[in-house]
Amino acid sequence: MSGDRIAAFFDMDKTVLSKSSGVLYTQHLFRTGQINWREMLLVFWSVLKYKLALVDWPRVTQRFMERARGQREIDMLEEARRWFHDLIVPHIAPLAVERMAWHRQQNHHVALLSASTPYVVGLLAEYLGLADNYICTQLEVINGVLTGRLIEPLCYAAGKVYWAEVYAQQRGVDLDRSYFYTDSIADMPMLQRVGCPVAVNPDFRLRRYARRQGWPVETFY
């Protein structure tokens, strides 16, 4: 059923976090010898092209996640827990945490909404006291083993709207009265779907568009 609860959805990378979790994870893989210089530079080049809207990000994500084929999901999660506190926690923006607290004081539902995977988004939600209040890109798991495939649609661009609507239906949330905080122009579909869009440390194109629309533009870090 549809409800009337107001929610505040927060993008993760470069919004709640001051850095990209994907870049941080890539650095971790390089430092631990799991990828070489060429693979690391390829990821950084893909991120740059993503920022310039010159790449099909879902295809890049699918290609990158194929390296996880055959891994046990429990091993993936255990590895993520090992690097989460060292690499992710230091980059949590205090002002993002304060804004979440404000929304809770208003009795709003607070959730993360990210294109990243549950092996970082879920851990961040847990760390922030959000329990299972998060939406993200899901990896296909069969019999506890990762297949290397992603569940469609990815939680990216219009895919965020799809999964947010599913989530809202399940949780009794009214998206027309809800908030969404993000830094990226790629999140325009979701920004236009909610009643209260907020640009946070936005990229140039989102900053320009937000100002034209009269949307709030805020700085979390």
Distance CA 43, CA 48 (A): 9
Determine, yes or no, domain membership for 11: yes
Determine, yes or no, domain membership for 83: yes
Determine, yes or no, domain membership for 220: no
- Please state whether the predicted TM-score (pTM) of the whole model is above 0.85: yes
Determine, yes or no, domain membership for 132: yes
Determine, yes or no, domain membership for 37: yes
Determine, yes or no, domain membership for 221: no
Distance CA 135, CA 8 (A): 12
Rounded to 5 degrees, φ, ψ at 130 are: -95, 0
Domain hosting residue 22, numbered range: 7-215
Distance CA 139, CA 122 (A): 13
Long-range contacts of 129-135 (CB under 8 A, 24+ apart): 130/100, 133/109, 135/9, 135/111, 135/160, 135/163, 135/164, 135/167
Region of 189 (left: φ > 0; alpha: ψ -120 to 50; beta: rest) is alpha
Count of domains observed in the chain: 1
**CB–CB of 3/109 below 8 Å?**
no
CATH code of the domain in which 42 resides? 3.40.50.1000
Please report, to the nearest 10 degrees, the dihedral formed by the alpha carbons of residues 192, 197, 200, 202 taken in order.
Answer: 30
Determine, yes or no, domain membership for 186: yes
Tens-level pLDDT at each residue, the chain (221 residues): 344 799 999 999 999 999 999 888 888 778 887 777 777 777 667 766 666 555 566 666 666 677 788 999 999 999 899 889 999 999 999 999 999 999 999 999 999 999 999 999 999 999 999 999 999 999 999 999 999 999 999 999 999 999 999 999 999 999 999 999 999 999 999 999 999 999 999 999 999 999 999 999 999 99
Residue 1, pLDDT score? 38
Determine, yes or no, domain membership for 143: yes
